[in-house]
Structure 1
Amino acid sequence: MPVPVSYPSQTQAAVIGAGPAGLMAAEVLAQGGAGVTVYDAMPSAGRKLLMAGRGGLNLTHSEALPVFLARYGEAMQHLATAITALPPDNLRQWSEALGQPTFVGSSGRVFPKAFKASPLLRAWLRRLDSMGVQFELRHRWTGWEDDGRLSFQAPDGKRVVDARATVLALGGASWPRLGSDAAWVETLTAKGVRIASLRPANCGFTVAWSDVFRDRFEGHPLKGVALSFGSRTVRGEVMITRAGLEGGAVYALSAHLRDAIVSSGQAILRIALRPDLQLNALTERLAVPKGKQSFSNWLRKAAHLSPAGIGLLQEVAIASGNALSSLSPAPLAELINAVPVKLNGLAPIARAISTAGGISFSEIDADFMIRRSPGTFAAGEMLDWEAPTGGYLLQASFATGAAAGRGALRWLSELESSK
């Protein structure tokens, strides 16, 4: 059996996880004069950041900070200090300093002008290299040795590392093939750290489509629709999948839909296919005689509905035992702008954009240090928060990474002063 090797480096701080939170923690630590080594189980850094960049890399949002902070719901009180210390404007300046200027899109979302993640990540890694940050890739963290040293499974066997401060930034449980597989949950639970169960966030949902609808409309979008659940309504686009529904508008309601399904086994999502038309105006359009047209062709022309929208109407009507063509104009108009779709489950967490749940904020102090493990800090999606898409996910990851880095610096300073 090979003997575990301890790194004889000057490493004062170990950052475990080379995603946005971990890299930001490493930058803050290095700026503060600490020797930093970043460990990651994957062969390269920032894999999930690159995945996020496939959609344009929505770094943050331009709305006023009080509105921005409210997007984090119950976690706002725990994240406000970190985000206020690294607010959206500062994050944009940080990106600019890396040679990646940003712009504000029509929705208020902020993107790099390059509209992708790879140029920013390359520039960031060059900056970290110039600051002396070391990287040890293909190193999977497996917990602590009995003497408190960090344990890793490396390509050449077990490695142990003696770090004076550690920042954990291992992500949640979504997209595990990119490195965030939540294996840390068992490790921290064994130390008595309270962890809220990990759940999919910004996720899709399952629907019991008929075979006919599924085969015909899988992959088709519903554009310009409005989704309603309870008192909440959002506008956007929905994608029909083989298993159910996905898309930005669905994600915006996903936390409430998820909780309803967990509580009662289902949730009724209402879809307005023509949300810009008042009921009376839509009813007037549907009062036009059909003539010799097929019902679907007449409905397409009269209400300006897509084939997928008409298919959804027919799917719901058939499920309720009614013929769509038997409805008079007023009930048909009501149905078009409130199509009830029964969601019966959640898409797998591995396909979710992000994760809810994680380390309870009661387990960490104001410096993001885990109380049960002095000198160990946590950041990013490991913490118990969630947010909608729109720049809020990356912003909080960057901000909590920076906060954990500052906390680790203070810890190192206190250790030095106590000598």
Structure 2
Amino acid sequence: MAATECDALVIGGGPAGLMAADTLLSAGRRVILAEQRPSLARKFLMAGKSGLNLTKDEDTETCLAAYGEAAGTLAPMIRAFPPAAVTRWAEELGQPLFTGTTGRVFPTAMKASPLLRAWLARLAGLGLDARTRWAWRGWAGADTLFDTPDGPVRLAPSVTVLALGGASWARLGSDGAWAGILEATGAPVVPFAPANAGLRVDWSAHMAAHFGAPLKNVALGAGGRTTRGEIVIARTGLEGGALYPLSPELRENAALAIDLAPDVAPETLAARIAARPSRESASNRLRKAARLSPAARALVLECARPLPRDPQSVARLLKAVPVPHAGLAPLDEAISTAGGLAWPGLSPGLEIAARPGVFAAGEMLDWEAPTGGYLITACLATGLWAGRHAAET
């Protein structure tokens, strides 16, 4: 079968792939975008069902710090498309935005579909040729192979951008199957691991009454890192935004401790406990002296029985409740993934050294970040960066 020549090929129809296609089209390149699912940006739409957190209203350097070890490598890309640029981009697509109390930026519509429709309309106007249900199968020499509803297809693109996602939410198309194809070419790939994932805890039966209950205004510590916010007691363990930044430490099986009264000094807490009648039950003492919610009291009794009797020891316990756990939730249940294409195998322009003329973007790359707009920001920024460098090829 002879291959069909094409100018520029983008494989993957999520935010990184769409941004790469936008950039290539804007540079005058003719673009075919191939997506294995029946429609584009499925994970993007799913993420936006409960409010699409596009970015964080903060300066570029503060934003970069959220990317941890990858911050230095991502720096030129994030600086080229920082949070302020993400905001302008969405507004230029006709989407009004607002900033929440934590600095997170959302579309006023609180969902992804209006933004995606406006973006796809723009891309169609630029001439994007989108092919859905095209499953990438790798290469045969210079040809790029696809399985399509009309049978096998071969393309011979001048330049390619891969934006195939990580390995979470496989049902939406981000299955990580590309890793084996690229490893076979000699591209180094860091094994995938869950990021922004729930924590597995083997609860006893008495915790069932509290499944779905929030633990508000708590501080969490693991492996020397601390976070603060809200988590939720789930059937399988713990979930929530305050937990997710600790994914790197919890992946290494670091112990988790929860401060249930982060605004109260241990001495003050101990004094309140000491003032309660000695005959009072442990649960009532926690409720009245420590002012803990039913869910918080249940957590203490679940994880720290038998409770100490002296007020100082109880206070210390409430400031660091140890939560035995079985590690992070499985990869496919994670919001995002760590691992992917290793940076040493990429050029500064995100070209894959083992496959010249092929660039990569988005969650395929070996970076991770907490929720809060950082995931989409980096996907857009790396898509733009790869698209710019591919356009010059």
> TM (normalized to structure 2)?
0.96
Question: What is the aligned partner in structure 1 of residue 35 from structure 2?
Answer: 40
Question: How far apart are residue 156 of structure 1 and its match?
Answer: 2.4
Matches within 5 A, 1:90-105: 90-105=85-100
Flag structure 2 segments of 5+ consecutive residues without an equivalent: none
Does the 8 A contact of 1:41 with 1:138 survive in 2? yes
CA distance in 1, matches of 2:284, 2:40: 52
Does the 8 A contact of 1:272 with 1:336 survive in 2? yes
Question: What is the aligned partner in structure 1 of residue 133 from structure 2?
Answer: 138
Question: How far apart are residue 398 of structure 1 and its match?
Answer: 0.2
Does the 8 A contact of 1:92 with 1:101 survive in 2? no
Matches within 5 A, 1:299-318: 299-318=286-305
Question: How far apart are residue 119 of structure 1 and its match?
Answer: 0.6
Does the 8 A contact of 1:200 with 1:354 survive in 2? yes
Does the 8 A contact of 2:26 with 2:126 survive in 1? yes
Question: What is the aligned partner in structure 2 of residue 264 from structure 1?
Answer: none
Matches within 5 A, 1:40-119: 40-119=35-114
Question: What is the aligned partner in structure 2 of residue 397 from structure 1?
Answer: 379
CA distance in 1, matches of 2:125, 2:356: 30
Query: Deviation digits for residues 39-95 of structure 1, max 9, x if unmatched?
Result: 111111111111221232111112221121122122122111111111211111111
Most deviating of 299-308 and 400-409: 299-308
Flag structure 1 segments of 5+ consecutive residues without an equivalent: 262-266, 412-419
Does the 8 A contact of 1:204 with 1:251 survive in 2? yes
Question: How far apart are residue 298 of structure 1 and its match?
Answer: 4.1
Q: Aligned-pair RMSD on alpha carbons?
A: 1.6
* Correspondent of 2:255 among 259, 262, 268: 268
Does the 8 A contact of 1:196 with 1:358 survive in 2? yes
Question: What is the aligned partner in structure 2 of residue 286 from structure 1?
Answer: 273
Query: Deviation digits for residues 257-292 of structure 1, max 9, x if unmatched?
Result: 21x22xxxxx21110111111112211221233488
* Correspondent of 2:12 among 17, 38, 63: 17
Question: What is the aligned partner in structure 2 of residue 187 from structure 1?
Answer: 181
Question: How far apart are residue 256 of structure 1 and its match?
Answer: 1.7
CA distance in 1, matches of 2:58, 2:269: 34
* Correspondent of 1:163 among 153, 157, 161: 157
- SS at structure 1 position matched to 2:146: strand
Question: How far apart are residue 317 of structure 1 and its match?
Answer: 2.3
Task: Establish whether residue 199 from structure 1 lines up as the match of residue 181 from structure 2.
Answer: no
CA distance in 2, matches of 1:357, 1:295: 45
Task: Establish whether residue 369 from structure 1 lines up as the match of residue 356 from structure 2.
Answer: no
Question: What is the aligned partner in structure 1 of residue 368 from structure 2?
Answer: 386
One-letter amino acid matched to 1:285: R
- SS at structure 1 position matched to 2:40: coil
- SS at structure 1 position matched to 2:354: coil
One-letter amino acid matched to 1:297: N
Question: What is the aligned partner in structure 2 of residue 416 from structure 1?
Answer: none
Query: Deviation digits for residues 187-242 of structure 1, max 9, x if unmatched?
Result: 001101100111111111212322332x2322222111110124322111111222
CA distance in 2, matches of 1:6, 1:100: 40
Query: Deviation digits for residues 132-183 of structure 1, max 9, x if unmatched?
Result: 001100111010123x111111122211112111100000001111100000
Does the 8 A contact of 1:228 with 1:234 survive in 2? yes
CA distance in 1, matches of 2:248, 2:316: 27
One-letter amino acid matched to 1:380: G
- SS at structure 1 position matched to 2:231: strand
CA distance in 2, matches of 1:291, 1:194: 63
> TM (normalized to structure 1)?
0.90
